[in-house]
Structure 1
Amino acid sequence: MTNFMQKIFTKEDPSVYKGKDAHLDRTLHVKDFISLGVGTIVSTSIFTLPGVVAADHTGPAVALSFIFAAIVAALVSFAYAEMSSSMPYAGSAYSWINVLFGEVFGWIAGWALLAEYFIAVAFVASGFSANLRGLISPLGIKLPKSLANTFGTDGGVIDITAAIVIILTGLLLAKGTTSTARIENILVVLKVLAVLLFIVVGLTVININNYVPFIPEHRMTKAGSFGGWQGIYAGVSMIFLAYIGFDSIAANSAEAVNPQKTMPRGILGSLAIAVILFVAVALVLVGMFKYSDYAGNAEPVGWALRQSGFGVVAAIVQAISVIGMFTALIGMMMAGSRLLYSFGRDGLLPSWLGGLNKNNLPNRSLVILTIIAVIIGSMFPFSFLAQLISAGTLVAFMFVSIAMFALRPRQGKDLPVPQFKMPLYPVLPIISFICVAVVFWGLSGEAKLYTLIWFIFGLLIYFIYGVRHSKKHKA
Structure 2
Amino acid sequence: MNLWKKINRKEDPRVYEQKDGQLVRSLTVKDFLALGVGTIVSTSIFTLPGEVAALHTGPAVAISCVLAAIVAGIVSFAYAEMAAAMPFAGSAYSWINVVFGEVWGWIAGWALLAEYFIAMSFIGSGISANFRALIAPLGLKLPAALANPFGVHGGVIDLISIVSIFLVSLLISHGVSEASRVENALVALKVLAILLFVIVGMTAIKKANFIPFIPHYRATANGPFGGWQGIYAGVSMIFVSYLGFDAIAANSAEAKNPEKTMPRGIVGSLLIAVVLFVAVSLVLIGVVPYQKYLGSAEPVGLALRSIGRGTIATIVQTIAVFGMFTALIGLCMSSSRLVYSFGRDGMLPKKLGKLNSDKRPNNALWTITVVAILISAFLPFSFLTQLVSAGTLIAFMFVSLGIYRLRPREGADIAKPAFKMPWYPVLPFLGFLGSLIVFMGLDTQAKIYAIIWFVIGLIIYFSYGLKHSVMNQKN
| TM-score normalized by the length of structure 2 | 0.99
| Amino acid in structure 2 at the alignment position of 1:32 | D
2:388 corresponds to 1:385: no
| Amino acid in structure 1 at the alignment position of 2:430 | I
Q: What is the CA deviation profile of residues 20-61 of structure 1, one whole-angstrom value per residue up to 9, with x for unaligned ones?
A: 001100000000000000000000000000000000000000
**Matched residue, 1:162:** 161
**Matched residue, 1:339:** 338
Alignment of 1:227-266 (within 5 A): 227-266=226-265
> How large is the Cα RMSD of the aligned pairs?
0.6
**Matched residue, 1:4:** 3
| Amino acid in structure 2 at the alignment position of 1:458 | G
2:85 corresponds to 1:94: no
Alignment of 1:315-394 (within 5 A): 315-394=314-393
C-alpha deviation, 1:454, in angstroms: 0.1
Question: Which secondary structure state, in structure 2, belongs to the residue aligned with residue 23 of structure 1?
Answer: coil
2:55 corresponds to 1:53: no
**Matched residue, 2:70:** 71
**Matched residue, 1:304:** 303
C-alpha deviation, 1:288, in angstroms: 0.4
* CA–CA distance in structure 1, aligned partners of residues 190 and 377 of structure 2: 25
C-alpha deviation, 1:3, in angstroms: 2.4
**Percent identity (aligned):** 63
* CA–CA distance in structure 1, aligned partners of residues 24 and 5 of structure 2: 34
What are the ranges of 5 or more consecutive residues in structure 2 without an aligned counterpart?
Answer: none
**Matched residue, 1:202:** 201
* CA–CA distance in structure 2, aligned partners of residues 59 and 6 of structure 1: 52
Alignment of 1:124-203 (within 5 A): 124-203=123-202
C-alpha deviation, 1:5, in angstroms: 2.0
Q: What is the CA deviation profile of residues 260-308 of structure 1, one whole-angstrom value per residue up to 9, with x for unaligned ones?
A: 0000000001000000000000000000011000000011001111121
Alpha carbons 2:23, 2:254 under 8 Å: kept: yes
C-alpha deviation, 1:473, in angstroms: 1.0
* CA–CA distance in structure 2, aligned partners of residues 25 and 110 of structure 1: 22
| Amino acid in structure 2 at the alignment position of 1:359 | D
2:436 corresponds to 1:437: yes
Question: Which secondary structure state, in structure 2, belongs to the residue aligned with residue 225 of structure 1?
Answer: strand
Q: What is the CA deviation profile of residues 309-333 of structure 1, one whole-angstrom value per residue up to 9, with x for unaligned ones?
A: 1111001000001001110000000
* CA–CA distance in structure 1, aligned partners of residues 199 and 94 of structure 2: 43
Q: What is the CA deviation profile of residues 171-202 of structure 1, one whole-angstrom value per residue up to 9, with x for unaligned ones?
A: 00000011111110000000000000000000
Question: Which secondary structure state, in structure 2, belongs to the residue aligned with residue 56 of structure 1?
Answer: helix
| Amino acid in structure 2 at the alignment position of 1:291 | Y
**Matched residue, 1:290:** 289
* CA–CA distance in structure 2, aligned partners of residues 296 and 220 of structure 1: 18
| Amino acid in structure 2 at the alignment position of 1:467 | L
Alignment of 1:10-49 (within 5 A): 10-49=9-48
**Matched residue, 2:83:** 84
Question: Which secondary structure state, in structure 1, belongs to the residue aligned with residue 154 of structure 2?
Answer: coil
C-alpha deviation, 1:222, in angstroms: 1.1
C-alpha deviation, 1:11, in angstroms: 0.5
| Amino acid in structure 2 at the alignment position of 1:404 | I
**Matched residue, 1:270:** 269
Question: Which secondary structure state, in structure 2, belongs to the residue aligned with residue 359 of structure 1?
Answer: coil
C-alpha deviation, 1:93, in angstroms: 0.2
What are the ranges of 5 or more consecutive residues in structure 1 without an aligned counterpart?
Answer: none
| TM-score normalized by the length of structure 1 | 0.99
Alignment of 1:391-470 (within 5 A): 391-470=390-469
* CA–CA distance in structure 2, aligned partners of residues 201 and 125 of structure 1: 29
The size of the alignment, in residue pairs, is: 474
Q: What is the CA deviation profile of residues 80-116 of structure 1, one whole-angstrom value per residue up to 9, with x for unaligned ones?
A: 0000000000000000000000000000000000000
C-alpha deviation, 1:6, in angstroms: 1.8
